[in-house]
Amino acid sequence: MLDSLKKLFGSKSTNHETNGQHSINELHLAASVVMVEAARMDDNFDDREYSTIIDLIRSRFNLSEKEVVSVVELAEHVAENAVEMSRFTSLLRDQFDHEERIEMIEMLWHVVYVDGKIHDHEANLLRRVAGLLYVSDRESGEARKRVVSNSPPIV
């Protein structure tokens, strides 16, 4: 597993396909690590959060079930051992255009809101990540409103 991580982050490959699809495994991992970290912020990484991350990564990057499970499992391992998020957020910032960075923030709001409440640590992480991705507070707030308005009530 660590060899996979070294391989992913060892190269400085920056392929970016022109049709909005990103083909870089390290980009998938970076997005997954940030989402896993958001899910872990309230000390309760549950099945709903895991399923939400799987669904978001699968649909965003058009990955197979096997690929998405593999990248999210690796992301869990990386998030447990990561000291800081800037390596991941800088990759996302560099590879995503502005609209994609806003979409990433919206995906993070989906993850933290899946349990129906926002923990202070989750909100703090979202503010930090938005800043690192050069997404304004207003844009992040609008993304949050979209998530809240489209989420079913928690029973």
CATH number at residue 120: 1.10.3680.10
77 pLDDT more than 90? yes
Q: Is 18 a domain residue?
A: no
17 pLDDT more than 60? no
Q: What is the mean pLDDT of residues 46-62?
A: 95
How many other β-carbons are positioned within 10 Å of the β-carbon of residue 128? Answer: 13
Domain count of the fold of the chain: 1
15 pLDDT more than 70? no
Q: Is 111 a domain residue?
A: yes
Q: Is 16 a domain residue?
A: no
Q: Is 21 a domain residue?
A: no
22 pLDDT more than 60? no
| Average pLDDT along the chain | 85
Q: What is the mean pLDDT of residues 104-116?
A: 94
Q: Is 146 a domain residue?
A: yes
